[in-house]
Structure 1
Amino acid sequence: MFWDQRTNMGSEVFYQCNFGYKNVGEGNVSHCMADGAWDQITFLCEEIDCGEPLFIPNTKMIWNRTSLIGSVVYYQCVEGYYNTSGINYTECGENGLWTDIKLQCEEVNCGPPLTLPHANMQWTNRTGLGSVIEYICKQGFYQAGGNSLSTCTPSGQWGIVSIICKAKCGPVPALANSEVVWQNVSAVMHRCVEGFHSWRGRNTSLCDIHGKWQSATIRCREIKPPISDLVFLNEKCLRWKADKYEADAENYQVEIVGFRAYQRSFHDKRKKLLRSISDHPEICLNLLPVTNYTFSITALSARFTSTLTAKTSLREPQAPEIVYSEVEAPLPTLWLRRFPNTLDPISFYQVFVCPLDGFLLFDCSSTRNPDFSIQRKSHGLYITAQVHLIDVWKKMNLTVGDGRYYGGFYNAPLQNGRDYYIILRAVSHWGGASKHCCFIWAKVSGTSYLMKVSSLYAAGSIGVVALAMCLGYCYTWFFKKT
């Protein structure tokens, strides 16, 4: 009540409902009348109640079922619909009315679905929430993976689909001398059949999106040894046939092992590397004579080794280092130095004494070995010493006519007053073969003689003659007293 606490005639009292209540009667003022009474009014306060909330289509209300002042009702779009206004609640006001709300819930629509290559869609043509589309690969294609179902989601978007459709290419390609080792509908793996090996190229065939095979490019070649037809040429070169890719280079390791049955201490062991792109590689070696060799050639990439055995023949002996002398002494001492290569095949040295009496003949290639006892009466050519190589280390000194025996030959004293030529012959024996090389070592003078050599002209020093005679020829020398 609102009044001034006066109760005399004409006084007024105003009535106001408490908060949460409203006047449901008539009038809200009472007056003090002349008869000393307040006039009667129908003022009546009732609790404010907003009643049932506003109904909004395609929504559901979330509230505690009270509709008094301050009560709040929340609206939520039902499944398949979504809020387009953004405001989703109303409140019971002091006026007993729910506040105005313009909520609208529209149906979820995912719209037209995606079209995928090489796939058809199976669905009911509905685009609302929960609608499902199944993608199926077209005829001639198959599903190679991925998800084939797409569903319309509450966000209004179709779910992601990842189906992969690949073409069916039909029969797999046939490659010469190959077989299929693995296959599925889109890929084939080939390998060469037994007896053949792959020669470059790709070993898989792939089915493309157009239904055509991208055929493998592998080539199958007959397996052949990477090294074949190994031959030994001119006693120094090796040649073979190489089975490899035309343009590729191959690395070879050449191992040489040589031995001599007649010389146990001898050994010749070497290794060489060769890189070649040739189909017929060749390597030439500095080989030693009268030697049994084993050659092993390995193709390093293929790890294949081919072996060949061969032997080198006997060659003319190597010339020793000698000093030609012209002496007038009954016991001339002569000197030689063996060729620096101690692996030379010389068997022994022979020293000939050639008296210059009348007409004499000396044949370096003759196998006759006349000794002093045989030639003593005729005073002809004889061997005065034979020295085996085992008795010669690096150099040798020999005194001609010292009266000793050398290799079974008597080194007879030279006769005073006579002229001699001392001839050195190097002899090599091996496997039934024999090679000789002769050198004029010295002239022992007693009287004056001239030497004439058939088919040989010694211009300059006698050492040039000796060197020329060691080139593999046999000469017949004629000596005549003048």
Structure 2
Amino acid sequence: MHWDKISTVGSKVIYLCKPGYLSAGTGNVSVCSASGKWDGAPILCQEINCWEPVLKPNAKMLWDGTSRIGSVVYYQCAEGYYTRSLRNYSVCGENGLWEDIDLWCEEISCGPPVALPHANLLWGHNSTPGSTVLYECMEGFYQESGNNMSTCSLSGEWGEVSIKCKAKCGPAPFLANSEVVWHNRSVVIHRCVAGYHSWRGSNVSVCGSSGEWQKATLRCIEIKPPINHLLIFNESCLQWKAEKYEEDTEVYKVTYTGSRDYQRSFYDKRKRFLSSKADQLKLCLGLLPVTNYSITITATSAKFTASVTTNTSLPVPPGPVVYYREFDTPLPTLSLRRSPNTLDLISLYQVFVLPVEGFMMFNCSSPAIAPPLSTLKSPAEYITAQFEVHRVGTEMNLTIGDGLLYGGFYNAPLESGKNYYIILRAVSQWKSALKSSCVLWAKVIATSYALRVSSLSAVATIGLVAVVIWGGYSIHWCFKKT
């Protein structure tokens, strides 16, 4: 009772249920009436009861059956399950309700079993405790050792499996021109058969974890001469293949001798040395032109010699060394100084005359023009002289237009009033081959050979030359005494 100890009319008493009890009546107040009595309070206090605890899936309750305030119920996950909650008990509260706890029981699972190399799984896809999985080696492999069964435990883990599957690689691999000298289940050693030698690569084949042979890379090649496939390219370079073990260094001695059919005194003899580990070799010798060469190569370690011959071709001759000049005379004299070097291979010199007429084109490589049978010249370019080189010596002078024959060509006089280019061509000729080079030697510029006058005049002298100057042109007569 909650009361102030006053019991006059109108005084009140409030009734509250004690702890552990709840009010079940319609009111809890009693009033002192005018009759001097307290009204009857309809309060009814009943003991608090939480009744049955809440069931949790896959869990069982540990409970003494009481449901008063402070009563406790414990939950325990069933076999094959484990709790994922922080609390596993509930208490009956003063509100007459069991505490709501976040509790659930999750089934124990080991998950998928671990995969092992080269092994198949025999498994029903069940990962609960007590489930089993068998391991079986794949095709091409066999079980070398270890156990092949695993069981899912209550801790949610598969038991350890120690199976080892070893590859079955089958027969030893085949290598061309080789034989097997040793073989077990996993290793094969090869060697080259008679008449062949090893050339690079490993001679061991290993059975790999995939069940296939990791094949040896050994190459067995036929035993050939130490110098093979000897040939000449670019006229002056050698190429050959070295038949040897790659790690060996070979020293090659190259000797070459040259002679010329057209030059009996010529003799070219030289030698070169080359040290190399390579199996493909090249060497350029700088051979002279139009020469017959005999070349020998000796592999000094192998004491083997190979030979080859070659004939070098005719090159383009060097351009003549001249000094270009311009002349205003119809009879210019040109000079050529030739080097005393007798190895320049020039056969002859030709002198061309080109009338300057508009656009001109001169082809230095055009064939030589045969000597004319007459002294008539063509109006276009023509050869005015030809000299064989052995007749030139070290110096040559030529007067253009002197009217003489040079090498069967007519050195025709130049026409007055015309401009000309003089071209010198050097020609090298050996058998059917012909090469040439050209230089511009001189230019002859047309001029008047007397002063212009306004009237005709003439002078005549017996036995001399009379010259008439008319309109800027010079006309020549020869008078013979009769």
TM-score with structure 2 setting the length: 0.44
TM-score with structure 1 setting the length: 0.44
